[in-house]
Structure 1
Amino acid sequence: MSRYTHLILAACLLVGLSSSAQQIQVGKNNVPDPKKVSVENIDKVRGKIRTGAEQTELYLPYLKGKRIGMVVNPTSIIGNTTVVDSLLALGVKIVKIFGPEHGFRGDASAGIHVDDSIDEKTGIPAISLYGKHHKPSKEDLADVDLLIYDIQDVGVRFYTYINTLQHVMEACAENNKELLILDRPNPNGYYVDGPILDSKLKSGIGINPIPITHGLTIAEYAQMLNGEGWLANKAVCKIKIIKNANYMHAMPYVLPVKPSPNLNTAQSILLYPTLCLFEGTIISQGRGTYFPFSILGNPDLKGKYKFSFTPKGIKGMSETPLHMDMECYGLDLRQYSANKIRRDAKINLSWLIEMYNAYPYKEKFFDFKQSKQMGNFDKLAGTYDLKQQIIAGKTEEEIRQSWEPGLSQYKIMRKKYLLYQ
């Protein structure tokens, strides 16, 4: 089966042929302007992008004779094979694997502690960066000459892989190690939106003053970390980047594999910047179903919505989800137009406002302390204001105005670090 065929099958499987499962890839060989390509004629331009990892001809010579450490997870692939297995087959000496949240093989649920282990398939030590420590130690890196970072991101501040990148860069800077970044497209890289993170709300789901959707690939974000002095002690990490080929930020892009257990469709990835905010509320985002981050609901909304679902414990996804075994009523966004999401190019505050207005017990809506499954809404939003604005009945436009001038200033700063148009 050809690589082209695999890409088409992956897109179909991810979203059941919904319009969101599309990948536009633009090169210099008579490929259309991404702004003029709709999901309906996607097949005409599919298959042009090459991720950094796929361009082995650009970096294999650089790995020769070096002891390699790999910061990877299940999205780290070349074709249908993990980059670890692929490079081992090409004679690369990999001595250490570092795994982020969900683990190297991706079978740990969100927020679950992951222990160090030996990878069963390769026999290589696998060090967890989501367990005892969040960055490689001096001992971890002692036998590593070069560290490679190859993890698919989804372009959102509270998606923890950019934190992993920062911790890895700090470890490399502290131990005089170089970091090779194999870049990958950002499926939400076509827009920048949301409030800038308030420094008082720094946490494991937000470290730096960036908006909710930052509009950068991993490699571009690495350049920003160095350039803005955001690494610990304003250190600078020596980085080498293998860019995506034939890629621009405006392109729709479907991931060939799910980036984490609960982002299992292209639709959920597009909705994630908006729906993850609900993790700081009493509203379920569909964890405990096979459609997380594409549905919303709560048992107390019975009679106000016809659509319903019942969260269950699902191993490897959500073992004890919010409102487990209770029928929830709310919104089904699985068929919401992917083209509209992309055209709007903004976080959809209307669903948050609608759910708050519909929920009968207002004092419970943002009370994250009542359930261990819920996050702190202010930390997710990156501001104390958004919660209070929704409670006060502010309009979407009034809320957006409060994000300025910070959002516009970030957009200007971002331009310094772009590798793609």
Structure 2
Amino acid sequence: MQMKKVATLVLVFGLMSPINRVIAEHLPIAKPESVGMRADRLAEIQPLMIAGIERGNLPGGVVCVGRHGKIAYLEAFGHRFVGDDPEKMTVDTVFDLASLTKPVSTATAIMKLVEDGHFLLNDRVTRFLPEFAPHGKDEITIQDLLLHQSGLIPDNALADYLDGPDTAWERICQLKLTGPVGKRFRYSDVNFIVLAKLVEEVTGKNIHEFSRATTFAPLLMDETGYNPSDDIKLRTAPTQQRDGDWMRGEVHDPRAYALNGVAGHAGLFSTAKDLASYSQMMLGQGTLHFEDKKIRVLAPATVRKMTAAYRVSSGTRGLGWDKQTPYSSNRGDLLSMSAYGHGGFTGTVLWIDPELDLFFIFLSNRVHPDGNGSVNHLAGHILNVVASSIVDEPRPVTHEVRLGIDVLRSEGFRALADQRVGLITNHTGCSTDGESTTAILQSAPGVSLTALFSPEHGIAGKLDQSKIADTRDAETGLQVFSLYGSTRRPTPAMLAEIDTLVFDIQDIGTRFYTYISTMGEAMQAASEANKRFVVLDRPNPLGGLVVTGPMLDPGKESFVGYLRLPVRHGMTIGEIAQLIKAEQNLELDLEVIRCQGWRRNDSWDRTNLTWINPSPNMRSLVAAFLYPGIGLLEMTNLSVGRGTDTPFEVVGAPWIDGRELARQLNGRELPGVRFVPIEFTPDSSRYSGQACEGVNIVVTNLQQLESVRVGIEIATSLQDLFPHDWQTKNLNRLLGNDAVFHSITSGNDGMTTWMKSLDGVSAFRASRQEYLLYE
């Protein structure tokens, strides 16, 4: 319908109408500048909305933006009703939220029941609803429903609902699966209808009653609920007509309507004010700070679990939330990777970004009057404007990360069901709560753990020697085959009683760390012996975005350079497994059990995971960040701190003038690092018992640190200052790049050599894309 005039109701800061005072009663109104946003950028929302209305995308809508606990923008545009007696849109208009019901009502209710101990996410639905079991549905877990990977149909026939809720449930119980459980993302309303039934079974209250009691009433969301009262209906935006009457306060979704307006997938109504309270509660890690009160709805751990990134077949989801899938066109392009949100068929959008401390609410009745409106792209464009208006720094966010072993356990060990398992691991192979993967698999139902395999440094990660013998594990009594002794590849005899090899070792994110090589050799052996190979993935401690050369030259592959990778590859061990399989053309049944909650821009300090020294000399995260650069130098006649308390944080030798080296390095003003002249005496390794001078590398900013560049700058400085003392014969053993080696030894400056080291990195970054599992 063509609109002759676009009406806009604007919230003017400091001049609030009575309606706007009601809107602001939970969250204070603030000028954009006071919450780190540009008012002139936010003003660009208005012409975008007006243009959308004039195009017929929607009759009207409300946009609400909140940041740092305050509302920075709230405006109403156009009309909520365009019939014979048009009604202007107002900021207190009540909207049919459609599928926003899924996260705001149903998923929140489920997570509340999880934290209260009523069930576990990996519990099968049939534990509580046994009648749901027919046709293979007994395998479906609660988490499968929340992630839309249950294998259920998106929507069963509307006719199944027309004989009332009881008959509708009976027919859902008789549905057949359309795909394997737990494997494929397929957005389904049926999933959330089942979840609402689960809430009712466990609590004795339907989803309306339970969500009202546990979420909406505590948050003072007094205009949020199902089947709005008559007085609230007066402010409700109508959608379409049903039986000749406008649906005003009557749910648009036909299945929810047949379920008497109360369902897990649709049926919720709300306002911008109420959703702002809910959003701020989520940003507050489950608590809304209101005046001098703290209203707690969920525990922080519950919110982190609910909003973590779970990899599904077409992207990433949260539990009940969208993150990055084909359904995410309404999220725009500029939110951080921690953002989560959802959309609703009627024209509603909600996105929450913990890193930006931002929420975005877009409410419309785009299906009014004729069902032809469309708002997802409009909302995405507006959200880009909102995100680009932010001028202060995003706050660092710690993500609750679940390791591959945690995910395997939460899924009931599906990937290893009825398998004889050999586990390649060491002391780093443990769950987030500290239980060893060995112990977990030994007690796992349906899993037979038959043998262990250890990498360099042994099963306990304490040995620092050239060969390690086979042994027996004291905890389990199992044989431990060393893959850093007489063989570096499992032999056919070792694999004879094994169906599946499992790899669970924490890598360090550097090309010349040998755990990658151990995995690659084991994958070769598994391929030749026709064994499955499962990688329990773990984060790259250095993060997954930074990729830094030099690349390994062709023909220089070895056990300390297993693949043609850059020194800092930015990949997880599971992603590297996929690369190995492809590059070596392995006929191998490979499965990677992904981490949950990890993002590519997360270094270890943002994961809330316990640091375990992965090898004897990798004693801190700082050492791990420095290792890609400082480790490059240790094949020369230089001490890199082995035999001191701070390996890879100091470099030196008896022939170095520490003050001169520090002066030259500090003069280069490298980001994130300073150099302090020191004296030290290693008690083992190179120069054991000899006094050395050198530098202590002081990291001032981990995120700015370019460790490989630091290593190159140290190398070029040594070549410049001590050309007759520094012996570079073995420098290229770990460097693995002739061009960079010759640049250093020819006396080129650090910047020239650094730029040379980047050759080929862009091509690698592009080629690795198909193997990446995380965003």
Please, what TM-score do these two structures have when normalized by structure 2?
0.46
Q: CA deviation at 1:199?
A: 2.2
Answering whether residue 478 of structure 2 is matched by residue 113 of structure 1, we say no
SS of residue in 2 equivalent to 1:54: helix
| Residue deviations 1:319-359 (CA, integer Å, cap 9, x gap) | xx000101111111144432331xx4753222222233233
Q: Distance in 2 between matches of 1:128 and 1:249?
A: 32
Q: Is the 8 A contact 2:454 2:480 kept in 1?
A: yes
Instruction: Flag as ranges the 4+ runs of structure 1 deviating above 4 A.
Output: 24-27, 38-42
State the AA in 1 paired with 2:764. Y
Deviation at 1:123, TM superposition (A): 0.3
| Whole-angstrom CA distance in 1 between matches of 2:577 and 2:773 | 11
- Select the residue among 476, 482, 495 that pairs with 1:141: 495
Report if the CA contact (8 A) 2:516-2:562 is conserved.
no
Aligned partner of 1:32 in structure 2 is: 355
Residue 340 of structure 1 aligns to a residue whose secondary structure is coil
Q: Are residues 1:88 and 2:453 paired?
A: no
**1:97-147, CA deviations, whole angstroms, 9 ceiling, x for partnerless residues?**
0000001111211x5311011112210000000001011111101001111
Cα root mean square deviation, aligned: 2.6
Cα separation, 1, equivalents of 2:762 and 2:399: 34
Indicate how the Cα distance of structure 1 residues 33 and 385 shifts in structure 2: closer, same or farther if over 3 A, else same. Answer: farther
For 2:577 and 2:497, the matched residues in 1 are separated by 24
For each residue in 1:199-238, what CA deviation from the matched residue of structure 2 results, as whole angstroms up to 9, or x when unmatched? 232222113221111111111111111222x2xxx32321
The offset of 1:41, in angstroms, is: 5.8
Q: CA separation in 2, counterparts of 1:121 and 1:420?
A: 34
> Secondary structure of 1:269's partner?
helix
| Structure 2: runs of 5+ lacking an equivalent | 1-299, 302-335, 341-351, 358-389, 661-676
User: Matched residues in 2 for 1:328 and 1:336: separation?
Assistant: 24
- SS of 2:548's partner is coil
Contact (CA 8 Å) 2:426, 2:458: kept in 1 or not? yes
User: 2:402·2:597 contact (CA, 8 Å) conserved in 1?
Assistant: yes
Counterpart Cα distance in 1 of 2:403 and 2:732: 35
**Is 1:191 the counterpart of 2:514 in the alignment?**
no
Residue deviations 1:180-206 (CA, integer Å, cap 9, x gap): 111000012331111221123222211
SS in 1 for 2:720: helix
Q: How does 1:309-324 map to 2 (within 5 A)?
A: 309-313=680-684, 321-324=685-688
- The question of 1:223 aligning with 2:578 is answered yes
Name the stretch that deviates more: 165-174 or 219-228: 219-228
Displacement of 1:27 in angstroms is 6.8
Q: Distance in 1 between matches of 2:460 and 2:768?
A: 32
Q: Secondary structure at the match of 2:413?
A: helix
Find the aligned partners of 1:353 and 1:114 in 2 and give their Cα distance. 36
Specify the alignment match of 1:365 in structure 2: 727
Which of 125, 134, 151 pairs up with 2:505? Answer: 151
CA distance in 2, matches of 1:408, 1:102: 34
Query: Equivalent residue of 2:461, what SS?
Result: coil
- CA distance, structure 2, for counterparts of residue 403 and residue 307 of structure 1: 29
Name the residue aligned to 1:46.
398
How has the CA–CA distance of structure 1 residues 300 and 346 changed in structure 2, closer, same or farther, with 3 Å as cutoff? closer
Matches within 5 A, 1:288-303: 288-302=643-657
User: Residue in 1 aligned with 2:155?
Assistant: none
Which residue number in structure 2 is paired with residue 15 of structure 1? none
* In 2, Cα distance between equivalents of 1:74 and 1:26: 30
1:284 corresponding residue in structure 2: 639
Instruction: Decide which of 702, 717, 722 is 1:338's aligned counterpart.
Output: 702
Cα distance in 1 for partners of 2:655, 2:708 equals 29
For these two proteins, the number of residue pairs brought into alignment is 373
Which residue of structure 2 aligns with residue 416 of structure 1?
Answer: 770
Inter-partner Cα distance in structure 2 for 1:277 and 1:334 = 18
Q: Tell me the residue number matched to 2:428.
A: 75
- 1:385: which partner in 2? 739
Alpha-carbon distance in structure 1 between the residues aligned to 2:425 and 2:765: 29
Instruction: Indicate yes or no: 2:626 matched with 1:271.
Output: yes
Residue type at the aligned position of 2:767: M
Deviations 1:282-305 (A, max 9, x none): 111000012101111111124646
Unaligned runs of 5+ in 1: 5-23, 314-320, 368-375
Q: 1:259 to 1:303 in 2, by over 3 A?
A: closer
How far did 1:245 drift? 0.7
Q: How far 1:380 moved relative to its partner?
A: 0.5
From 733, 753, 759, the counterpart of 1:399: 753
Query: Percent identity at matched positions?
Result: 29
**What is the one-letter code of the residue matched to 1:351?**
I
- What SS does the aligned partner of 1:338 have? coil
Does the C-alpha gap of structure 1 residues 54 and 413 become closer, same or farther in structure 2, counting only changes over 3 Å? same
Confirm or deny: 8 A CA contact 1:297 1:328 kept in the other structure: yes
* 1:397, distance to aligned residue in structure 2 (A): 3.3
Of 468, 476, 479, which aligns to 1:122?
476
Amino acid at match of 1:32: E
Tell me the equivalent position of 1:253: 604
Q: Matches of 1:307 and 1:96 in 2, distance apart?
A: 47
Return the index of the structure with the highest Cα Rg. 2
| Greater share of residues in strand | 2
Closer/same/farther in 2, CA of residues 131 and 354 from structure 1, 3 Å limit = same
Shift of 1:396: 3.0
